[in-house]
Amino acid sequence: METKNLIHQNPGTWQEATRHPFLDAVREGTIPAPAFDAWLAQDYLFAGDLLTFQSRLLARTPRRDGAQAMLAGGLVAVEAELGWFEEKARERSLTLDVPRHPTAAAYGDLLAELEGVSYPAAMTALWAIERAYLEAWRSAASGDPDYREFVEHWTTPEFEEYVAGLGTAADSALARAGGAEIEESERVFGEVARLERDFWEMSFSAGGEA
Ligand code: HMH
């Protein structure tokens, strides 16, 4: 089993994780500001949780295939991303000191749970998390200039290369995994995809409430 099979075997789930009216509205420039701002503040919280998960994953990543260097580089990038979110929030006069929405809390719970799953499953989950964002933001590309820097953040060649590196590390781990670990990897892939969909849904509905 390889990472690409996970996407091919779950086309509907993956489509929902990576295509959403939120992203269409970003592309068209019709996203209501409250929806975008809600996404930004909740994604900042998510990125903080991701940093925690990824730090602990690095501690159990094997040296083979350059996986440690790849993941350590990713960790530096996630920390820098927190600073970038802080800067974007300042520019938009937003506070990042907001309560966690239940969906962001559920995603944080999954990240915490991933600390207890096998290495192949945890690496597969991290790959799915980043791969979902790459595809999702690609679907918002070539649109409204107001949001271009957000689209670019997750569609640069560097980010693409990072996602490919995560895929290589996950495939290498899956190639060595036993049946139970493969099953666990399939399960966490599904959970990541479901929470990615819920995250867009959460952000988009925040616009309707305003
Ligand atoms: C919800 N998924 C979510 N937020 C992100 N920033 C990423 C993935 C990519 O890091």
The band of 210, judged by pLDDT with boundaries at 50, 70 and 90, is: very low
Per-residue pLDDT tens digits for 8-31? 999 999 999 999 999 999 999 999
Which residue, 16, 8, 11, 6, is CA-closest to 199? 16
> Which pLDDT score is estimated for 209?
47
Q: Residue 133 C-alpha to ligand 1 middle, in angstroms?
A: 6
Residues contacting 135, CB < 8 A, separation 6+: 18
The band of 207, judged by pLDDT with boundaries at 50, 70 and 90, is: low
> Which pLDDT score is estimated for 146?
86
Q: Which two tokens stand for residue 201?
A: 């849904």
d(CA 56, CA 70): 14
Q: Which atom of ligand 1 is nearest to the CA of 130?
A: 9
User: Do residues 6 and 17 lie in contact, with contact meaning Cβ atoms separated by under 8 Å?
Assistant: no
d(CA 134, CA 19): 11
- Residue to mutate (ligand 1; options 39, 42, 131, 133; most atoms within 8 A of CB): 133
- Output the CA torsion 120→121→127→131 (10° steps): 140
Helix (H) or strand (E) holding 2: none
Average pLDDT of the segment spanning 92-105: 96
Per-residue pLDDT tens digits for 101-157? 999 999 999 999 999 999 999 999 999 999 999 999 999 998 888 899 999 999 999
Q: Which atom of ligand 1 is nearest to the CA of 195?
A: 1
SS (H, E, C) 143-200: CCHHHHHHHHHCCCHHHHHHHHHHHHHHHHHHHCCCHHHHHHHHHHHHHHHHHHHHHH
Average pLDDT of the segment spanning 195-207: 92
- Residue to mutate (ligand 1; options 43, 82, 131; most atoms within 8 A of CB): 43
- Residue to mutate (ligand 1; options 42, 71, 88, 129; most atoms within 8 A of CB): 129
d(CA 192, CA 38): 20
Per-residue pLDDT tens digits for 29-69? 999 999 999 999 999 999 999 999 999 999 999 999 899 99
- CB under 6 Å to ligand 1: residues? 43, 46-47, 50, 129-130, 132-133, 196, 199
Q: Which atom of ligand 1 is nearest to the CA of 132?
A: 8
**What's the pTM value of the predicted model, to 2 decimals?**
0.96
Residue 171, pLDDT > 90, answer yes
What's the farthest any 2 CA atoms get from each other in the chain?
50
> Which pLDDT score is estimated for 194?
98
> Which pLDDT score is estimated for 126?
98
Q: Which atom of ligand 1 is nearest to the CA of 154?
A: 9
